[in-house]
Structure 1
Amino acid sequence: MIARLSVSTALATASLVLLPAQALAQSGDDLDQASDAASARGTIIVSGVRQAYRGNFAISEIPQSIDVIDAETLEDNNLIRLNDALDLNASVARQNTLGGLWDAFAIRGFAGDENLPTGYLVNGFNGGRGFGGERDTAGIERIEVLKGPAAALLGRGEPGGTVNIVTKQAQIGQTFGTFGSQIGSFDKARSEADINLAVTDGLSARLVGYIEGGDTFRDTVDEFRWGFLPSIGLALGANTRITYDLEKTRVETPFDRGIVVLDGNFKTVPRSRYLGAPGDGDHIARAEGHSLRIQHDLDDRWSVLLGASIRDTLLTGLSSDADLSGSRQSLFRDGRSLARERRSRLYDSEQTVVRGELTGEFMTGGLRHRVLLGADHDSFDNYQQFGRTRPPALSTNPSEEAAYVIDILDPVYGRFDPPIPRPNNDRLDRQTSSGIFVQDQIELTDRLQVRLGARYDDFTLRTENYITDVNSERKDDRISPQFGIVYEVAAALTLYAAYSEGFRANIGTDVNGVIFEPEISKSMETGAKVSLLQGALTGTFTVYQLEKDNVLASDINNPGFSVAIGKARSRGVEVDMNGKLPGKVDLLLSYAYVDAESRSSVLDPNFSFEIKPGDPLINIPDHTFNAQLSKTFSVAGRQAKLGGGVQYVGERLGATGTEFYLPDHTLVRAFGEIEVVDNVSLFGTVSNLFDAAWYANSYSQLWVQPGAPRTATIGFRAGF
């Protein structure tokens, strides 16, 4: 690791102007009308490309709760992982991240398929599926949390909402850049750069990249990752823009299931203790993606946006994981001998998306119509080759070597030769889906608008099981409607309500090769959007209820497969505020109450755990709160900023069908930055300031992910 880190640091330092960081320089027209709150903070958000699925609307006109996490907020807090950034929104809850190797989160209580990373959009394209590792925030202009009933437009999303990542786009005719490096706790070193170059008046290239290496707070676990995320922009006259984006990333880190918790004692082992096998080596996750978008303004009212993307990912590696079966787990007998499985993974995916939309407006009988028409086609191939060897049943009195035991109180790594994983799952899931959508928002009066829309989806899912030679296929289609109403009570207050139905294919099969019924959802929400202090402070208050059928959960006894748990419901209340207080103090506040529960009675056939109506959904806290304040001021004529924040996450279920709960936690963070010379700043951050013990997520009492202790970073940023 030392040699690898030295090489990475040297490469990073030597290539700062060619590689990665967070760019602050932004200018141009606000083509996608991103965020009222961001505008209130004085941030000019520019992509140069209209936003997919959005149309010509201000945030206050949309009958939906939308929260924006901008590049400035990411930079202030030094948030470099998507999962960490989403902690800033209380409606988002962490889920099982497959040993820290993919992004997994729930919005308003609904998480989707536990056997796949949580899907999200990148510039309007489905970009979250696949196995490319946790997404880095380098190259992100902003993160939009699109909460509530949007499935009738976006399609294939969870009813709780969708995350859309807007990347940093090449800015036509401009040259600017930032670069920087940082070091931090656990010997972490990282460098980033973001350079926008005007090649000609109509052609620009934006080169974004990062490289990072270091240890972690987990014993024997280190990380190495890099990414190159360039964007090319070409203007063909005043009305046509072509944008090409490349994503190329790699992550190398050991697979880490976390700690064990016996009898509710979260101090069973230290949070730093690694219970895998260092000799297994790293899991490697890599991604390569290409996207091309063409935007053409027909006139000042109508615009066409066409695009295509392809993304290929691969995840591979070996791991030694705690076995979850009580009939095989010796830990439940003596309190120290953890029986483990040896596992192998080769997960490969390829996703292709093409889409097009027409946006514009017209008048009929004095009524203004703003319409959005479009279609998309999505093809997703998900190949999973999974192997494992389990410990023998306790009834056979296996030896410690046969059970592949590690002593959780005094671990000795490499004590036994690891068993060779045997084939368990070798399957290709091939999903193709097509959709057509239409939306019309009609201004009935100066204050009252109505939104009508619908989406038609058609999908085919074929599964080929190469172990059982069982092939399965399912086809289905559905129309999903949406309705919304927006009423401007006054300049400072807008009321809205919305209803939507959703439709999403459940990919994969149960262990017997049966493809599940698609998920059907219904979403309702109502709320108020406020604009205070002459627009400097904006906020949204929302009440909602979501219901969906044919919900899946991971099959504990058959990894890579799912089981149907029936119906689920989520309802809650949200408050989001963003902007400036008097005294030029920046405020970010988010609170969510979420009541997410099963609505069906299910008996698991493998372990006989029972899910009852009213049981909470896993990893979903009732109450979550996040608040942050920061202030910019001058020191000896130089600009400086200080800020801090607090996050509270309530108690939540840690294992489905049990009484095991993760405790609540409160985390405090602090950050600061000061300009030392023109265009060069020093910055520092401290997360988990008071070194609280906390737990990010859990799948079972034996797979609990501890959160990081107090972590500090210091670094510099320079720009031109």
Structure 2
Amino acid sequence: MTPAPALAEDEPPQEHDDITVEGVRQPYRGDFKLREIPQAITTIDAGTLRENNILRLTDALDLNASVARQNTLGGLWDSFAVRGFAGDENLPSGYLVNGFNAGRGFSGQRDVAGIERVEVLKGPAAAVLGRGEPGGSINLVTKQAELGRTFGSASLQYRSFDTVRAEGDANVALTGNVTARLIGYAESGDTFRDTIHQRRWGFLPSIAWGIGANTRVIYDLEWTRVAVPFDRGIVVLGENFRTVPRSRFLGEPGDGDTVARALGHQLRLQHDFGGGWSLLVGASHRDTRLTGASSDAETAVARQKLFLDGRTLSRQRRTRRYESAHSVVRAEIAGEFATGGLRHRVLIGADGDYFDTDQYFTRFRGPVVTAATTDRQSYAIDILDPVYGRWPAPAGVPITNRLDVQRALGAYVQDQISITDRLQVRVGGRYDDFLLRVEDRLLNKLGRRRTGRFNPQAGIVYQVSDPLSVYAAYGQGFRANIGADARGTVFDPETSTSVEAGVKLTAFGGRLNGTLAVYQLEKSNVLATDTANPGFSVAIGKARSRGVELDVNGQLPGRVDVLLSYAYTDAEARSRVLDPNFSFQILPGDRLINIPDHNLNVQLAKHMTFGTREALLGAGVHYVGERSGQTGTAFELPGYTLARIFGEVDLTREVTLFGSVSNLFDTRWYANSYLALWVQPGAPRTATIGVRARF
């Protein structure tokens, strides 16, 4: 067992020098050392994920304080904010896979099986990314086939609540220049929530083909399925977070599972021309589908019996069929040249992005509550003594039947110029042409919006000394807002401006790295949840986020791994907006939902040797401050502190025993909320034990 490698300053950021053996260069990145990049970048590597026994992307992102949890549609998609900005709260958060826009759609929460590392790319990167959030992007680098090698591993683990998981990874050299890597997982078991049983599986193979010494082709497949009942969480009355036990399920087990499926393909080719020049060409396509039914707490005050007697919860009955198709094609040339005494390192690229979402959603809701309204009419359940299946499931009527079509073409150029041995300047820009078409089949209305925009970027890096560099960056960007509001009006795109400055420090020969950054982000045409029409958004105008971040990652003397991440985030609305349905008012200074002011994660792990056996023991603490729990109201989620311990020991050279305990002190905590009647409680103390074999 070897320690998780720290990111050395003498190497490009998590990229491999030998492209014919190790992997394909990451798009949008170029060949730069971390200290040369005018941007804060942090990495969560496979060793850290394995040691903490992290299984979901959402949990992995908790290790970086710049990322905050958002509404996850009853635990059925990934949703997060980077530096206070989340994008559209009614859609999954997009992320990159191997540098390609590939995380959009309705595929369920991403499993970390098959992930080599998670990169949190923070700050203004509009010149190349263009259409992303200004706070940053999440890039997942997958475990890819490694040419000429044969190795593998398999693990079996048992977790609290009778959950069993099996996972396998085999890299097999088929010929001297063709290698296949087969990765798969399967998981099944209960959860801490009453009646909730979940099942997940995935198959993530990769095939690499080396064509000569300078060309490599790699293909990745993603085939996954998640089946779990839709779960809106608990209700909170009068700020009493113990209104019901955190385990209480307030839906209907008879609704069955909501099922999320994904089938994706990614093909990439890299060719090295020599002399520092290379070409990267690739394409990806991903289909997703989410289907199921749920029984959710009614959100309208006038229709909610719970506010009258404190125990009878009126509910809606909902069904969903959400589908998406996402295709991306892209090409990028990277290289360097000199003009006079100046060294230029350039990226020149273009991409096309095609994203379609088809959403069909039905809803039943009870009448306005009067003295004559019956529990059956309200499809009600007693929150203190629930009886499931008391009423037949009522039929809903279509609320959403809409096709959203996005077509985007973009081209970019970036040049990083070495003025002296210590001073570098980065300039760049990107032009995007974007088309959004919204076909509302219920309103028989077709909306269309086309936008073209140029986004500049500039940065400067100065190396004060070998271990210390300072940087500053500026960027503009935009992101199209998908869909329309409850009245069918197509949203304008978001626009943003970002400013960032920071200090980067490396120590112990590159084994320990740290970044201290300050930033300010401003956005226009921001969307927020329309609480009167769940599933829809409302434009709130302008928003601003500013903050301070500290990230330290690497290894201290004595074989002690350290990870420290702290963020202070001040994210707020900057416009006065009255919801069109008069359900709430947003005022300048109102906090953005689910964004804590303070977020901290710190952990230490000690590597040890007992004779010929390697072992590791680690512990960590995660603190999240108070957060707004409902847009435009005073409702807040309380802060929390979670502790965890983890460890592993080699039983033989090939077999390792591992275990972990999360939420060690069984803290009551709340991961996110949509409003006070839809609050997601966090898991209680959870223990895992397992065995891993490798060859």
List aligned pairs for 1:147-546, cutoff 5 A: 147-395=122-370, 397-546=372-521
- Letter in structure 2 aligned against 1:631: K
Asked if 2 retains the 8 angstrom alpha-carbon contact of 1:32 and 1:49, the reply is no
3-state SS of paired residue (1:295)? strand
3-state SS of paired residue (2:288)? strand
3-state SS of paired residue (1:393)? coil
Deviation readout 1:139-192 (Å, 9 max, x if unpaired): 000000000101221121100000000000100010000111000100000010
Displacement, 1:31? 13
Question: Following the alignment from structure 1 to structure 2, what is the Cα–Cα distance between the partners of residues 396 and 610?
Answer: 30
3-state SS of paired residue (1:151)? coil
1:678 to 649, 653, 661: 653
**Structure 1 residues without counterparts, runs of 5 or longer:** 1-21
Displacement, 1:25? 11
Displacement, 1:366? 1.1
Deviation readout 1:220-258 (Å, 9 max, x if unpaired): 001000000000000000000000000000000000000
Q: Does 1:33 align with 2:12?
A: yes
- Letter in structure 1 aligned against 2:296: D
Identify if the C-alpha distance between structure 1 residues 47 and 87 changes in structure 2 by more than 3 Å, giving closer, same or farther. farther
**Aligned residue for 1:578?**
553
3-state SS of paired residue (1:333)? helix
2:120 to 133, 142, 145: 145
List aligned pairs for 1:108-147, cutoff 5 A: 108-147=83-122
Question: Following the alignment from structure 1 to structure 2, what is the Cα–Cα distance between the partners of residues 24 and 488?
Answer: 29
Asked if 2 retains the 8 angstrom alpha-carbon contact of 1:578 and 1:588, the reply is yes
Question: Following the alignment from structure 2 to structure 1, what is the Cα–Cα distance between the partners of residues 594 and 624?
Answer: 11
- Letter in structure 1 aligned against 2:547: G
**Aligned residue for 1:4?**
none
Question: Following the alignment from structure 2 to structure 1, what is the Cα–Cα distance between the partners of residues 395 and 35?
Answer: 58
- Letter in structure 1 aligned against 2:409: S
3-state SS of paired residue (2:73)? coil
**Aligned residue for 1:662?**
637
Identify if the C-alpha distance between structure 1 residues 714 and 484 changes in structure 2 by more than 3 Å, giving closer, same or farther. same
Question: Following the alignment from structure 1 to structure 2, what is the Cα–Cα distance between the partners of residues 159 and 651?
Answer: 23
3-state SS of paired residue (1:506)? coil
**Aligned residue for 1:76?**
51
**Aligned residue for 2:566?**
591
Question: Following the alignment from structure 1 to structure 2, what is the Cα–Cα distance between the partners of residues 528 and 438?
Answer: 26
Asked if 1 retains the 8 angstrom alpha-carbon contact of 2:528 and 2:538, the reply is yes
1:99 to 65, 74, 78: 74
**Structure 2 residues without counterparts, runs of 5 or longer:** none
Displacement, 1:534? 2.6
**Aligned residue for 1:6?**
none
Displacement, 1:500? 0.2
Question: Following the alignment from structure 1 to structure 2, what is the Cα–Cα distance between the partners of residues 127 and 218?
Answer: 31
2:542 to 560, 567, 586: 567
List aligned pairs for 1:12-27, cutoff 5 A: none
- Letter in structure 2 aligned against 1:416: W
Asked if 1 retains the 8 angstrom alpha-carbon contact of 2:127 and 2:413, the reply is no
Question: Following the alignment from structure 1 to structure 2, what is the Cα–Cα distance between the partners of residues 462 and 369?
Answer: 40
Question: Following the alignment from structure 1 to structure 2, what is the Cα–Cα distance between the partners of residues 637 and 349?
Answer: 52
Deviation readout 1:180-205 (Å, 9 max, x if unpaired): 10001000000101100000010000
Asked if 1 retains the 8 angstrom alpha-carbon contact of 2:10 and 2:33, the reply is no
Identify if the C-alpha distance between structure 1 residues 524 and 281 changes in structure 2 by more than 3 Å, giving closer, same or farther. same
- Letter in structure 2 aligned against 1:598: A
3-state SS of paired residue (2:519)? strand
**Aligned residue for 1:48?**
23
3-state SS of paired residue (2:161)? helix
Question: Following the alignment from structure 2 to structure 1, what is the Cα–Cα distance between the partners of residues 645 and 369?
Answer: 50
Displacement, 1:634? 1.3
Asked if 1 retains the 8 angstrom alpha-carbon contact of 2:318 and 2:361, the reply is yes
3-state SS of paired residue (1:142)? strand
Question: Following the alignment from structure 1 to structure 2, what is the Cα–Cα distance between the partners of residues 324 and 545?
Answer: 35
Displacement, 1:555? 2.0
1:555 to 512, 527, 530: 530
Question: Following the alignment from structure 2 to structure 1, what is the Cα–Cα distance between the partners of residues 334 and 560?
Answer: 38
1:622 to 577, 597, 609: 597
Asked if 2 retains the 8 angstrom alpha-carbon contact of 1:509 and 1:516, the reply is yes
Asked if 2 retains the 8 angstrom alpha-carbon contact of 1:118 and 1:129, the reply is yes
Displacement, 1:32? 8.7
Deviation readout 1:524-545 (Å, 9 max, x if unpaired): 0000000122322110000000
Displacement, 1:608? 3.2
Question: Following the alignment from structure 1 to structure 2, what is the Cα–Cα distance between the partners of residues 112 and 395?
Answer: 39
Question: Following the alignment from structure 1 to structure 2, what is the Cα–Cα distance between the partners of residues 582 and 635?
Answer: 18
- Letter in structure 1 aligned against 2:64: N
Displacement, 1:58? 1.1
- Letter in structure 2 aligned against 1:85: A
Question: Following the alignment from structure 2 to structure 1, what is the Cα–Cα distance between the partners of residues 339 and 580?
Answer: 59
The worse-fitting range, judged by mean Cα deviation, of 550-559 and 211-220 is 550-559
3-state SS of paired residue (1:235)? strand
RMSD between aligned residues? 1.9
3-state SS of paired residue (1:394)? coil
- Letter in structure 2 aligned against 1:301: G
3-state SS of paired residue (1:361)? strand
3-state SS of paired residue (1:471)? strand
Question: Following the alignment from structure 1 to structure 2, what is the Cα–Cα distance between the partners of residues 506 and 237?
Answer: 44
3-state SS of paired residue (1:677)? coil
Question: Following the alignment from structure 2 to structure 1, what is the Cα–Cα distance between the partners of residues 426 and 54?
Answer: 36
**Aligned residue for 1:3?**
none
3-state SS of paired residue (2:345)? strand
Identify if the C-alpha distance between structure 1 residues 24 and 470 changes in structure 2 by more than 3 Å, giving closer, same or farther. farther
List aligned pairs for 1:629-648, cutoff 5 A: 629-648=604-623
Displacement, 1:47? 4.9
Question: Following the alignment from structure 1 to structure 2, what is the Cα–Cα distance between the partners of residues 255 and 151?
Answer: 36
3-state SS of paired residue (1:378)? strand
Displacement, 1:57? 0.6
Question: Following the alignment from structure 2 to structure 1, what is the Cα–Cα distance between the partners of residues 2 and 470?
Answer: 36
Displacement, 1:556? 2.1
TM-score normalised over the length of structure 2: 0.97
Deviation readout 1:567-598 (Å, 9 max, x if unpaired): 00000000000111121111000000000000
List aligned pairs for 1:701-716, cutoff 5 A: 701-716=676-691
Give the fraction of aligned pairs with identical amino acids, expressed as a percent. Answer: 64
Deviation readout 1:376-408 (Å, 9 max, x if unpaired): 000000000000011111147321001000000
